[in-house]
Amino acid sequence: MSQMNRRRALQLLAALGTTGLVGGCGTDDSGADSTPTLSPIKIGLVAPQTGDLKVIGTEIINGFQLFLDLNQAQLGGHPTELLTAEEGGKPESGKAAVEGLLKQGVLALTGVASSAVMLGIRDTVEQARVPLVGSNASPTSLQSVVYIWRTSYVLDEAGRALGSYLRTRLPASAKLAIVMPKGLASEDVLRGFRQEFGESDRRIEDPVTWTTDAVAERADYATDIDQALDAKPTAMFCFFNGEAAVKFIKQLRDAGFRGTVYAPGFLTEGKVLESFENTPGDALGIQTALNYSADINNAANRLFASAYRKKHGSSPTTYAMASYDAAQVLDQAIRIAGDSPTPQQVNLALGRVGQIDSPRGVWQFNQPRTPQQKWYLREVQMDGQVLSNVLITELATLG
């Protein structure tokens, strides 16, 4: 069995849980198929392990580790040690995490959940000349970078995908309320949405409601929601994630709003829907745009989603998928870079990986080092007894 076929067999066996067969597939007593062991490498992963973004950080770690699990703990044929560092909630803590990993001699970096942190570590990464394959944060203002690549999305794309869709979807008599917390990410989403929907469209002429508190533990959106509902909207466009998303949706329904809610997919991603187990009607019908859905029907996603569910007991998120792809991209780049890769050689090789056969569908890096990829419309529906984000249609290819 060739090295590539053996790896594929191991992936499939791991995904199916037939670990008892792996030893037989991986052993060749003749030695004819043996390959020399390449030198070990270290990869540094920056992710929040406390605070509001902890759930995203956990998914980022899970996704990258799953790729290692399915590939004999190797990237590019090199035994790989994954070093994790606490991102924290501020640029200063993110910079400290990156500097600590660089001191340990990592070949490349990955992760990063917060847009503010990504902007804060930009110069440190560029000056170190060590590639960062970011798997979540990708602010629009991150421009002209050489060593920073991203496998997730640029946030204005989520707004653009929904803006284009709703421009033709909403009737002329519709009125759309826009509610979101202040911050870099919200500004990116809103900019993209207005760009595609139309700045002067009368359906969004009412001012944006900026929420007064985006901290999940203390979030009380009642006053902001009442302000937005004073205009009697027929639908709502918002941008929240995690615990803040749960609180916002519940308070919105408590205020009596029963119109359709549209949002970037983070609103219902991850464990958010579990919070509506006893009140599923609050979440049913919410429509979101995202670059991934766990029910995408392709071979790469069947393998990924099956293995993820087996290991973690839940469906994978876009955060886990993008981190899995970051590992996949690094695997290919390190292989291209040769037996003794340097960070600079890996960075050059990242520009040569071409198309990625991803769980989200095939994508590739564009000139700004972000994915050119499909965006999907999803709707919260009942999947048996469980709320689920069900793929409805493709919205656009962006990037």
Q: How many helices (H) and strands (E) does the chain have?
A: 12, 14
Tell me the pTM: 0.87
CA distance 331 to 218: 41
- Tokens describing residue 134: 């970011």
Rounded Cα–Cα distance for residues 240 and 265 (Å):
9
Question: What distances in angstroms separate CA 394 from CA 81, 145, 188, 372, one per listed residue?
Answer: 37, 30, 22, 14
Q: How far is CA 136 from CA 19, 44, 108, 336, in A?
A: 31, 15, 16, 24
> Is the CB of residue 278 less than 8 Å from the CB of residue 310?
no
Dist. CA 241–CA 155, nearest whole Å:
13
Distance CA 395, CA 397 (A): 7
Best CA proximity match to 237, nearest among 163, 311, 132, 332: 163
Q: Are 113 and 87 in contact (CB under 8 A)?
A: yes
Instruction: Give the pLDDT of the chain (399 residues) as one tens digit per residue.
Output: 334 444 544 444 444 443 333 333 333 444 444 456 899 999 999 999 998 889 999 999 999 999 999 999 999 999 999 999 999 989 999 999 999 999 999 999 999 999 999 999 999 999 999 999 999 999 888 989 999 999 999 989 999 999 999 999 999 999 999 999 988 889 999 999 999 999 899 999 999 999 976 555 567 899 999 999 999 999 999 999 888 999 999 999 999 999 999 999 999 998 899 999 999 999 999 999 999 999 999 999 999 999 999 999 999 999 999 999 999 999 999 999 999 999 999 999 999 999 999 999 999 999 999 999 999 999 999 988 899 999 999 999 999
